[in-house]
Amino acid sequence: MSGKCKVACLALLVAALVAMPVAARADSNLGMQLTSGQTVTLCDNNINYAGCTANGSDSNGAFGQITYIGPVGNWTTNVTSGFGPPYEYLVPILDISSFNATSSAGAGPLTILLSVSSLTTPAGLQALFNSIGGTSTFAGTTITTQAWLNAGNTPFCASSSCGSVAVTPLLTVTGRSYSGAISGSALFPNSPYALTLAVTINSQGQVDTTSFDDELDVPEPTTLSLLGSGLLGFGLALRKLIA
C-alpha cells in the first residue's frame, strides 16, 4: 500500500470517528419557545413534529439552528439564535447564542426554552455543565437558567409538573455585566428522551436590553476517548510516513 493510500485510509477512519455522534442524533428534533404574555413556538426549519407546532417562523434554514426576530408580548427580540443537534453534536449540546431582546415599560418576565427531543445519546450517568454570560442595561435585571431532562421525550418541558427532572441546579445571575457557571449530573435513559435549556429574564417591569450566551454541555467520555485515540493513531502513522 502506497504512503498516499495509507494517509487517505487513515483520514477516512478519523472522519468516521468524528461522524459517529452525528449519526447517533440524526433523528433528533430542535425547537424553541419564547413566552411573555404570549407564546411564540418555532420548530427547526419550520417543520412540525410531535410536541412542536410552529406559530412563528424560523428564519435559519439550516437544521440544528433556529433564529427568531420579532415581538413576544412587550418584548422585542432583536435576534434570538438557538443551536442543537444535529448541528451541535459534542459540546455544547444546546446553545442559546447571540440573544438580544429589549423590554418596554411594564413588561413581565421573558422565558426562552430551547429544546431537543428524540435524543438517544448520551445514555447512563452523565456530568452536565451550564454556563451563561452577558449584559443588561438595567442593573436590577435577574436572569435564571436551568436544564431539564424528560424521559418521556416531551419537548419544552421545564417544570416538575410535567414529569421532568432538573439536570442542573438553578443558576441565577444579575447586574449590568454578569456571568456564571454550574455543574450537575443526570441519569440519561436508553430510550429516546428530551432536553430543554430554560432561561428567564426578569427586568422588574423596567425598560431594558439584555444580551447573553447560554450553553449546556454534556461531554461524552467514550466518544471523546475514541476520537482522541483515532487522532493519535493518525498522527503517529503520518509521522512514520513522512520520516
User: Could you read off the pLDDT of 107-148 as tens digits, one per residue?
Assistant: 999 999 999 999 998 899 999 999 999 999 999 999 999 999
**pTM for the full model?**
0.82
Average pLDDT, the chain: 85
- DSSP per residue over 52-112, as a string? B--SS-----STTEEEEEEEETTEEEEEEEEE-TTT--SS-SEEEEEEEEEEPTT---EEE
Tell me which of 78-82, 157-161, 181-185, 222-226 is least confident. Answer: 222-226
178-193 pLDDT tens trace: 999 999 999 999 999 9
Q: Which fold has domain 29-220?
A: Jelly Rolls (2.60.120)
Question: Given this model, what pLDDT does residue 4 score?
Answer: 45
- Would you list the domain boundaries of the chain? 29-220
